[in-house]
Amino acid sequence: MEVLLSHLDAFAGGMRTTAELALASFAGALVIGVLVAACRVSPVAPLRAAGTTYVETFRNIPPLVLLVLFFFGFPKIGILYSPFTSAIIVMAVYTGSFVGEAVRSGINTVAAGQAEAARAIGLTFSQSFVLVILPQALRAVVPAIGSLFSAILRNVSLASVISVQELAWVSERLIADTGRPFQILAGTAVAYLMMTLPSGYLFGVIERKTAIKR
């Protein structure tokens, strides 16, 4: 127990880095996801193709492979970012493909009548998309987005491989330094619960607030 208490600041630092990574990646993923979904439902064929390629590529590659490729491979062509930034970019791009799919399925659940009505009153494609379809679609997919955020919280632990000092990295280092794996892992589990439980609750609240009452 004292082992955990004496390393509280290390845990706290790790948790903060994990939270920063998760939030930044999530924000990026949302932006990318909406753009990708827009491409996928667009009438412009090349955009549809680009969107589909994006999704099919990034959904099927393990995030760790993307991370290693970006961090160790891309510098060879001049793309070099710090470990922290690299992690955010990769996680945003990766999760963005899932967000894109979720938003797309959300768009498709919005009744066709909505789109027709929007067009009927003279809104352009982009207006009807942004003002009518998207808000309803996003409300429909809040649960899925919530579970994707939990997935991000878990996935940013991969950044430890490229020496970002988030919670998993701190945990590994403490296990090596103190030689007390069980206590450290218990503490790490608590630390992760301290992040997943509140965010799960928060998304539950958002879900209830935005639920479409039919």
| Tokens 């062509």, residue located | 77
* Closest CB 120 distance from another protein, rounded Å: 8
Query: Of residues 27, 176, 205, 212, which one binds another protein by CB under 8 A?
Result: 176
Q: Is 77 in the site for another protein (CB under 8 A)?
A: yes
* Closest CB 132 distance from another protein, rounded Å: 10
Contact by Cβ (8 Å): 143, 207: yes
The structure tokens listed for 159 are 């950044």
Kindly report the CA angle at 22 between 20 and 24, in degrees rounded to 5? 65
* Closest CB 5 distance from another protein, rounded Å: 20
Chain positions 16 to 45 lying near another protein, rule: CB under 8 A, are 40-45
Q: Is 133 in the site for another protein (CB under 8 A)?
A: yes
Query: Of residues 135, 181, 205, 211, which one binds another protein by CB under 8 A?
Result: 181
Distance CA 167, CA 174 (A): 10
Question: What 3-state DSSP class applies to 30?
Answer: helix
Chain positions 85 to 114 lying near another protein, rule: CB under 8 A, are 98, 101-102, 104-105, 107-109, 112
Binding mask 136-165 for another protein (x = CB under 8 A): -------xx-xxx-xx-xxx-xx-xxxx-x
- Residues that contact another protein, how many (by CB under 8 A): 81
Query: Of residues 129, 134, 174, 187, which one binds another protein by CB under 8 A?
Result: 129
Distance CA 192, CA 182 (A): 15
Distance CA 89, CA 101 (A): 19
Q: Is 178 in the site for another protein (CB under 8 A)?
A: no
Nearest residue (CB) to another protein, 42 versus 210: 42
Contact by Cβ (8 Å): 131, 12: no
Distance CA 214, CA 117 (A): 19
